[in-house]
């Protein structure tokens, strides 16, 4: 996608009749989340671009970085027109591009795939909820750009031989209907094989855990604050257990799984990112994990799989809360837009 298109489209709506309307809570919340997330991505991708040898991977990192910068700039323009305070997010003080290399080139492709999936999730929820024309056009084009990038990433992953396909299953021989409630069994009785949607979401979550696990391994090596280092080690253990748990479901039915990415993490112990950025990064990744697990749970008819996802969501939720407490303790947690505290106003 030409990077001028989004900006010109935004400016073309300056005369639209609804631009005098206030930003709704949905627009404020999603613009804020998009701004914070993309300022973080600018820092991470800037560092990655300083440490990449493969020219094709470099080109797709540049494409991703250009998109993130443009999203940040467009949101900043909306804020400035509204007289709205621009969030701090993450800046050049949160990244040291000259720190030694922490990841192999091949890892960048898996990271971009994860980034693309998370972005599409954020933007697709925004589109049906935002109403003002400039924000509608903005998030619509965010989705288009993220899908375009993700398709390019997937094509390059396949070209580089890094692609592991989701498991193959046989074609059905005819259309059929479920006839008995034991289709839902998982703990007792006759337990059926996994169906396609269960396999799909299981594979997706295994893939996500593999990427997250590698990032946690890297962050635990370079973190400077002890609380952060311990937090990343704990996250690594959680991601490892979840990876193994979901992989076992597939292996028990002789189905292939996504590979580990840990070997793509280098041995550097010098931090390329601030502890604030790394903590937020992991909270963000694990928050996305909750959404992915919930999606998987909604598509899983077997009782044992649904119960397993429920336990995984609970464990991730506790981990995210503990991380938020660490960020608050260190003054790293920027507050999102919120409703008026009417009780406090009354007490004044």
| Domains of the chain and any CATH numbers | 23-159 (1.20.1260.10), 181-329 (1.20.1260.10)
pLDDT tens sequence across 313-324: 999 999 999 999
Q: What percent of the chain has pLDDT over 90?
A: 85
Residue 2, pLDDT score: 38
Instruction: List the Cα angle 120/123/127 in 5-degree steps.
Output: 130
pLDDT tens sequence across 329-345: 999 999 999 998 878 87
Is residue 4 very low, low, confident or very high in pLDDT (cuts 50, 70, 90)? Answer: very low
Residue 227, pLDDT score: 97
Burial of 145: CB neighbours in 10 Å, binned 0-12, 13-18, 19+: buried
End-to-end CA distance of the chain: 52
Q: Which residues have C-beta within 8 Å of that of residue 236, sequence separation ≥ 6?
A: 213, 216, 217, 220
Query: Which own/partner pairs from 81-87 qualify as long-range (CB within 8 Å, at least 24 positions apart)?
Result: 81/19, 82/23, 84/23, 86/35, 87/32, 87/35, 87/36, 87/39, 87/334
pLDDT tens sequence across 203-247: 999 999 999 999 999 999 999 999 999 999 999 999 999 999 999
Q: Which of 8-17, 42-51, 132-141 has the lowest mean pLDDT?
A: 8-17
Residue pointed to by tokens 């903590």: 279
Q: Is the pTM of this model over 0.85?
A: yes
CA distances from 148 to 3, 65, 216, 267, 335 (A): 12, 14, 28, 33, 31
Q: Which residues have C-beta within 8 Å of that of residue 317, sequence separation ≥ 6?
A: 290
């Amino acid at each position: 996608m030409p990077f001028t298109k989004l900006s010109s489209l935004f400016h073309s709506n300056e005369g639209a009749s609804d631009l005098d309307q206030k930003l709704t809570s949905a627009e404020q919340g999603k613009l804020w989340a998009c701004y914070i997330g993309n300022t973080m991505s600018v820092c991470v991708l800037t560092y990655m671009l300083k440490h990449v040898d493969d020219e094709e991977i470099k080109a797709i990192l540049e494409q991703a970085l250009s998109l993130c910068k443009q999203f940040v700039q467009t949101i900043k323009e909306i804020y400035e027109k509204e007289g709205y305070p621009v969030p701090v997010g993450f800046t050049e003080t949160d990244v040291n591009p000259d720190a030694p290399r922490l990841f192999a080139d091949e890892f960048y492709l898996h990271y971009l795939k994860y980034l693309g999936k998370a972005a599409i999730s954020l933007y697709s929820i925004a589109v049906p909820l935002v109403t003002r024309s400039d924000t509608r056009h903005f998030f619509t084009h965010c989705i288009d750009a993220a899908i375009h990038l993700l398709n390019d990433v997937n094509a390059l992953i396949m070209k580089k031989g890094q692609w592991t396909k989701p498991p193959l299953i046989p074609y059905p021989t005819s259309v059929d209907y479920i006839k008995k409630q034991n289709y839902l069994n998982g703990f007792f009785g006759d337990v059926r094989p996994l169906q396609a949607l269960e396999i799909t979401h299981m594979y997706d979550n295994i893939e996500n855990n593999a990427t997250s696990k590698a990032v946690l391994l890297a962050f635990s090596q370079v973190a400077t604050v002890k609380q952060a280092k311990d937090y990343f080690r704990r996250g690594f253990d959680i991601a490892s257990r979840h990876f193994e748990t979901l992989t076992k479901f597939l292996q028990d039915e002789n189905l292939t799984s996504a590979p580990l990415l840990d070997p793509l993490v280098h041995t550097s112990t010098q931090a390329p990112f601030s502890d604030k950025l790394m903590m937020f990064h992991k909270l963000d990744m694990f928050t996305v994990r909750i959404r992915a697990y919930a999606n998987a749970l909604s598509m899983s008819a077997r009782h044992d799989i649904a119960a397993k996802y429920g336990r995984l969501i609970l464990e991730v939720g506790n981990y995210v809360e503990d991380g938020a407490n660490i960020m608050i303790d260190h003054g790293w947690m920027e507050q999102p837009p919120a409703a008026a505290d009417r009780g406090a106003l009354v007490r004044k």
